Every structure is written in structure tokens, then in C-alpha cells.
């Protein structure tokens, strides 16, 4: 996985792809391709995140198919745009399972969308792999037979991480919360309260705002007047940018520790230069243009010409590893039936991803493959997401 393929082999593989992988997968391959269904925001403010997830899955499928596929069959991606709408996400998931016959679902960029899909996935007994949405209840959903797995951040763990960050880096004693008013914000409110209670800390208030709010000065003013010496921010790209603009309007220079919502698009273009002051969690970053997956990315998608064009790398890395884990489980199951894949998920090991090597990443009690040791505090600098030096 860590070696760049010679040009001659890449050329041969490209030719095989152009011919429908006829050489690698003869027409007698049982039942044709194994389909994986993607439900994600492929348009709107989070389209860059959906694009990153799509690219990560595509690169993983290229690798897997070049090595002979899964159960001797190629993987095929079938995508649907949920437009960040829970109802549309649920309809898309049903269509992928019932009409397209996908072996597993990947996606749910937004926590509300994922939460809408979870009951359907569990009822239909179809594995649902999350490469982005971080809401704690997505995987911890209480189902007796839980078909939901994740290679991503988890709100409760993120909240612990960003609390520790504000305390240790800035000495914050009374932070305030500015949270998007939806289930994702609610999930993080619970996690942040737990992290503060663990430290015996008070907070300066909990303020909510909407996706379409263009001014959050009133909410931020209340937090400032209550003595906030730091802010927790939870929102996606556009609303996070409105928070930054409102802080600028107030002239309030306060440390901001954020979930990874701002990473999902051209945040600094919307927020302005002050967007670089927002520090947020990531699970994967390319450390250089020599990274093997980055080189494969630029070969596959020539429009990517620099690391600044990769927004966000987390989406690519999470989706890449999630696809490898799904493929390993299907291979181990020897079947594309949901219950067999779910059971196999608990036995896979030694899967080499770009974030880490996964040894027993899932158990019936923990269906999240990533933990706090996999988080990186980051920021935008000149349009590129970089790690924050200690």
C-alpha cells in the first residue's frame, strides 16, 4: 500500500479499468460487482466533504480491485446525494438497499442524516459504515443487533479532547458553548457538559444558533458578558464562518476550540483571515506531497495540484480506511449477506489503513474504530489544513 506503482503497471491497470476490468474479473465472476452504496452531501455547503469521502472510497476500491477484488468480484460504488437533509438521506438509503442491492451503506456526512438512516440499517440488517458524522448515538444506538460501524471521530471523545485543549493550551477556566441547533449540537452539549463536570469546571453559558443565521452577535455577547474565556464551537462550514464574522464584528479575540465542522469546505473563504484562529479536530492529514495516498490522489484526480486542494484530508483518509475494513469483512464472511458481514466485522484484524493498522477495530460493545489517540488539533493556514505545533 505504501509503494507507488511503476508507470507500466499503472498503465496496464488503467487499460483494464477502461475495459470494465475484463482482464481482472472475467464475465463468469459470480453475480457481477459487489455494490457499496454511498449516501452523502454531494451538493451545498458540505459538498467538499462529500467529494473527499467519494475520493477516499474510490481510491480504496481502485487498490482492492487491482488486487483481485473481494470474493473474486470487483467493488462498485453507487452514490446518492442527501443534500444534508435527513429525509432525503433515508430515502436514498432505502433506494440503494432495495433497488440497487448494495451489500453495505457508507455515509451520513451530517449527524441528523445518519441518525435518520440508523433505524433503517438495523431493521434491514445492512451494515452502515460512517466515515464522517460524529454524533455519539449513531453507533451507540441501543439496538440489540447493531449494524452501524464507524471510522471517524465520536462527539463524546472529541468534546473531551477540545476541553483538555482549551484548558491546557489557554488556561481556560470558564468556557462558553456556541452550538448548532440540531441533534449534532445536542450530542456535543452532553459531551461537553460531561467533560467540564469531570474537571469540576463551570461554563459561561450554552448558546444555540441556526444554519441560516447571518449574525450571532447576541449569543456571543451573552457569553462574553458571562465571563467566557474560551469558546467551544460546533457547526459546519457556513454557520461556523458566521460565528467568526460575528466575533470580528464584536472585536472579541477569544480562543476557539472547534469540532471538525469548519474543515468540510472553503471555510477561510467564507470566514476571512480570522478563520485561521479557529482550532479544530482532525483524524487524518497528509504530512507531505510524498505521502503514497496523496500521490495516488493526484494521479486519479489531476485537478488536485497541491495540499491546499485537499479539503478535507480527513474525509479521504476516513473513507479510504472504512472501505478497506468493509472489504476485509466481506472477504472474511465469504458472503454479501448483512448478518454475515456484521459478524465478520468483529473478527477482522491486521488491516493496514492510512490512519493506522486496525487490529480488532470493532467489538459488539464498541463499534468505533478510532479513539482519542487518533485525533490531531489543526487549523487553516492559507487555505491548507495543517497540524498545530505543540
Give the pLDDT of residue 118: 98
Chain centroid offset of residue 362 CA:
17
User: Which sign does the torsion angle of CA 258, 157, 319, 306 carry?
Assistant: positive
Chain centroid offset of residue 283 CA:
9
Give the pLDDT of residue 4: 33
Per-residue three-class SS string for 49-80: HHHHHHHHHHHHHHHHHHCCCECCECEEEEEE
Question: Is this structure's pTM higher than 0.75?
Answer: yes
Rounded to 10 degrees, the C-alpha dihedral 225/227/230/235 comes to -40
Helices within 287-337 (DSSP H only): 292-300, 313-333
Q: Which pLDDT tens digit goes with each residue over 350-365? A: 999 999 999 999 999 9
Give the pLDDT of residue 30: 61
HSE, side-chain direction, 13 A CA sphere, residue 31: 12
Q: What is the largest CA-CA distance in the chain?
A: 71
Give the pLDDT of residue 9: 33
Cα(279)–Cα(257) distance, integer angstroms: 5
- The answer to whether 163 and 188 have CB atoms below 8 angstroms apart is no
Give the pLDDT of residue 12: 33
- The answer to whether 350 and 359 have CB atoms below 8 angstroms apart is yes
Nearest to 277 by CA among 253, 249, 298: 253
Contacts of 84 (CB under 8 A, 6+ apart): 41, 44, 45, 46, 109, 110, 113
- Tell how strand 357-359 and strand 349-352 pair up: antiparallel
Beta bridge partners of 307: none
SS3 content of the chain, % helix, strand, coil (to 5): 45, 15, 40
For residue 255, the tally of other CB atoms under 10 A from its CB is 18
- The answer to whether 227 and 191 have CB atoms below 8 angstroms apart is no
Cα(251)–Cα(227) distance, integer angstroms: 15
**Per residue of the chain (390 residues), what is the pLDDT tens digit?**
333 333 333 333 333 343 344 344 444 346 699 999 999 999 887 788 899 999 999 999 999 999 999 999 999 999 999 999 999 999 999 999 999 999 999 997 889 999 999 999 999 999 999 999 999 999 999 999 999 999 999 999 999 999 999 999 999 999 999 999 999 999 999 999 999 999 999 999 999 999 999 899 999 999 999 999 999 999 988 999 999 999 999 999 999 999 998 987 778 889 999 999 999 999 999 989 999 999 999 999 999 999 888 878 999 999 999 999 999 999 999 999 999 999 999 999 999 999 999 999 999 999 999 998 999 999 999 888 999 975
Cα(279)–Cα(125) distance, integer angstroms: 38
Give the pLDDT of residue 31: 66
Cα(277)–Cα(268) distance, integer angstroms: 10
- The answer to whether 13 and 23 have CB atoms below 8 angstroms apart is no
Amino acid at each position: 500500500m505504501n509503494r507507488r506503482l511503476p508507470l507500466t503497471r499503472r498503465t496496464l491497470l488503467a487499460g483494464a479499468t477502461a475495459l470494465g476490468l475484463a482482464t481482472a474479473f472475467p464475465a463468469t465472476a459470480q453475480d457481477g460487482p459487489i455494490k457499496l452504496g454511498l449516501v452523502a452531501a454531494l451538493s451545498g455547503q458540505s459538498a467538499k466533504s462529500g467529494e473527499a469521502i467519494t475520493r477516499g472510497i474510490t481510491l480504496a476500491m481502485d487498490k482492492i480491485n487491482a488486487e483481485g477484488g473481494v470474493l473474486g468480484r470487483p467493488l462498485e460504488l453507487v452514490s446518492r446525494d442527501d443534500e444534508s437533509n435527513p429525509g432525503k438521506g433515508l430515502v436514498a438509503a432505502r433506494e440503494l438497499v432495495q433497488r440497487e442491492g448494495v451489500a453495505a451503506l457508507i455515509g451520513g456526512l451530517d449527524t441528523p442524516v445518519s441518525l435518520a438512516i440508523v433505524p433503517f440499517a438495523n431493521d434491514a440488517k445492512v451494515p452502515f459504515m460512517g466515515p464522517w458524522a460524529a454524533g455519539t448515538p449513531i453507533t451507540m444506538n441501543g439496538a440489540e443487533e447493531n449494524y452501524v460501524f464507524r471510522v471517524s471521530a465520536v462527539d463524546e471523545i472529541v468534546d473531551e479532547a477540545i476541553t483538555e485543549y482549551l484548558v491546557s493550551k489557554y488556561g481556560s477556566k470558564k468556557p462558553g458553548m456556541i452550538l448548532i441547533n440540531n441533534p449534532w449540537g445536542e450530542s456535543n452539549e452532553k459531551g461537553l457538559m460531561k467533560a467540564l463536570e469531570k474537571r469540576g469546571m463551570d461554563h459561561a453559558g450554552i448558546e444555540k444558533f441556526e444554519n441560516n443565521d447571518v449574525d450571532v452577535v447576541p449569543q456571543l455577547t451573552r457569553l462574553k458578558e458571562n465571563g467566557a474565556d474560551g469558546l467551544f464551537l460546533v457547526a459546519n462550514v457556513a454557520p461556523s464562518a458566521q460565528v467568526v464574522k460575528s466575533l470580528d464584528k464584536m472585536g472579541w479575540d477569544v480562543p476557539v476550540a472547534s469540532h471538525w465542522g469548519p474543515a468540510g469546505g472553503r471555510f477561510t473563504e467564507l470566514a476571512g483571515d480570522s478563520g485561521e484562529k479557529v482550532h479544530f479536530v482532525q483524524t487524518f492529514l497528509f504530512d507531505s506531497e510524498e505521502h503514497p495516498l496523496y500521490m495516488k490522489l493526484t494521479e486519479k484526480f489531476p485537478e488536485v495540484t497541491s495540499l491546499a486542494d485537499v479539503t478535507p484530508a480527513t474525509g479521504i483518509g476516513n473513507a479510504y480506511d472504512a472501505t478497506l475494513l468493509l472489504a476485509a469483512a466481506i472477504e472474511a464472511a465469504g458472503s454479501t449477506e448483512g448478518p454475515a458481514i456484521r459478524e465478520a466485522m468483529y473478527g477482522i484484524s491486521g488491516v493496514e489503513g492510512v490512519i493506522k493498522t486496525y487490529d480488532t477495530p470493532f467489538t459488539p460493545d464498541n463499534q468505533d474504530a478510532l479513539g482519542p489517540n487518533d485525533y490531531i488539533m489543526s487549523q487553516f493556514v492559507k487555505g491548507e489544513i495543517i497540524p498545530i505545533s505543540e
